[in-house]
């Protein structure tokens, strides 16, 4: 993958494994997503003093945290206190997630195929139940004073993965490239069982934390169903009219 080989894609921070720049992707009309404007990440709870130095150099202005309160309490972001940035807590979990995790912890749900089906359904709900959250993320991106921005959750795959997809699709990046970015998580993801507090077998954890094409395509299917097409979803459900899209493109494309 060309994006994987690009040395600017993954930032080599010590305390997070999946901190990636969304820059460099080409849009359908030949523009390019600007580097050092939007980042996607997994947990930021274990950033080191050296990472804090990098954070200051990156000059992150906005942090969007998609974790719910219990996740934030279990593993609070370790951000540099002497750097001025806004933190926007937009945490949510899709309907059914809490029950799935409870059943896994209680060993009531151990079959990998069943867990795969559960996660796929969660992705189906992202564009339906949480469109407002993702619209808010896009609104933050058109605030010049709010950039650079990083959006993250715990593993950086699901809630954050769909956020990255929405951002890239709204900018006009094609679906194949969006899928490529989504699947890059498999190259960089780390063991997060201590953050999820599940105490489960490695193969089951992999099912939960690996990026799979069917997962993201479940979200895309919901978008097409809700809006008639991806563009229709963006316009009629997300409210990305031509004026808003022009602002987004002006902020993030070169």
Query: What pLDDT, on a 0 to 100 scale, did the predictor assign at position 110?
Result: 80
Q: What percent of the chain has pLDDT over 90?
A: 78
Query: What pLDDT, on a 0 to 100 scale, did the predictor assign at position 5?
Result: 54
How confident is the model over 139-159, as pLDDT tens digits?
Answer: 999 998 999 999 999 989 999
How confident is the model over 164-219, as pLDDT tens digits?
Answer: 999 999 999 999 999 999 999 999 987 766 666 677 777 777 777 789 999 999 99
Q: Measured between alpha carbons, how far is 112 from 205 in angstroms, rounded to an integer?
A: 9
Contacts of residues 100-106 at CB distance under 8 Å and 24 or more positions apart, as own/partner, are: 101/196, 101/198, 104/198, 104/200, 104/204, 105/197, 105/198, 105/199, 105/200
Q: Where residue 7 falls among pLDDT bands split at 50, 70, 90?
A: low
Query: What pLDDT, on a 0 to 100 scale, did the predictor assign at position 84?
Result: 94
DSSP the chain: -HHHH-TTTB---SS-S--EE-TTPBPTTS-BBPTTSEEEES--TT--HHHHHHHHHHT--EEEE-S-HHHHHHS-----TTS--EEEE-----TTHHHHHHHHHTTS---HHHHHHHHHHHHHHHHHH-HHHHHHHHHHHT-GGG-SEEEE-SSSSSHHHHHHHHHHHHHT--HHHHHHHHHTHHHH----HHHHT----HHHHHHHHS--HHHHHHHHHHHHHHHSSHHHIIIIIS---HHHHHHHHHHHB-
Q: Measured between alpha carbons, how far is 211 from 208 in angstroms, rounded to an integer?
A: 8
How confident is the model over 51-100, as pLDDT tens digits?
Answer: 999 999 999 999 999 999 999 999 999 999 999 999 999 999 988 888 99
As a whole number, the mean pLDDT across the chain is 92
Query: What domains, with CATH codes, occur in the chain?
Result: 2-252 (3.90.190.10)
Query: What pLDDT, on a 0 to 100 scale, did the predictor assign at position 1?
Result: 42
Q: Are the C-beta atoms of residues 46 and 73 closer than 8 Å to each other?
A: no
Q: What percent of the chain has pLDDT over 70?
A: 95
């Amino acid at each position: 993958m060309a994006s994987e080989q690009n040395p600017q894609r993954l930032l080599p921070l010590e305390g997070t494994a999946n901190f990636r720049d969304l820059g460099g992707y080409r849009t359908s009309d030949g523009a390019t997503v600007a580097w050092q404007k939007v980042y996607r990440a997994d947990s930021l709870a274990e950033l080191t003093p050296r990472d804090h130095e990098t954070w200051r150099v990156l000059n992150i202005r906005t942090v969007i945290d998609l974790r719910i309160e219990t996740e934030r309490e279990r593993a609070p972001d370790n951000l540099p206190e002497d750097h001025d940035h806004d933190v926007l807590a937009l945490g949510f979990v899709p309907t059914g997630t809490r029950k799935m995790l409870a059943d896994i912890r209680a060993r009531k749900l151990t079959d990998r195929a069943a867990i795969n089906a559960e996660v796929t359904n969660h992705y189906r709900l992202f564009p339906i139940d949480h469109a407002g959250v993702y619209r808010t993320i896009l609104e933050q991106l058109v605030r010049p004073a709010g950039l650079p921005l990083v959006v993250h959750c715990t593993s950086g795959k699901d809630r954050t993965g769909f956020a990255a997809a929405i951002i890239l699709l709204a900018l006009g990046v094609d679906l194949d490239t969006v899928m490529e970015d989504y699947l890059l998580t498999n190259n960089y993801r780390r063991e997060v069982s201590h953050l999820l507090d599940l105490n489960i077998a490695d193969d089951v954890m992999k099912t939960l934390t690996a990026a799979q094409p069917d997962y993201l395509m479940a979200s895309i299917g919901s978008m097409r169903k809700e809006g008639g097409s991806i563009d229709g979803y963006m316009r009629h459900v997300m409210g990305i009219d031509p004026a808003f899209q022009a602002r987004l493109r002006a902020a993030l494309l070169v």
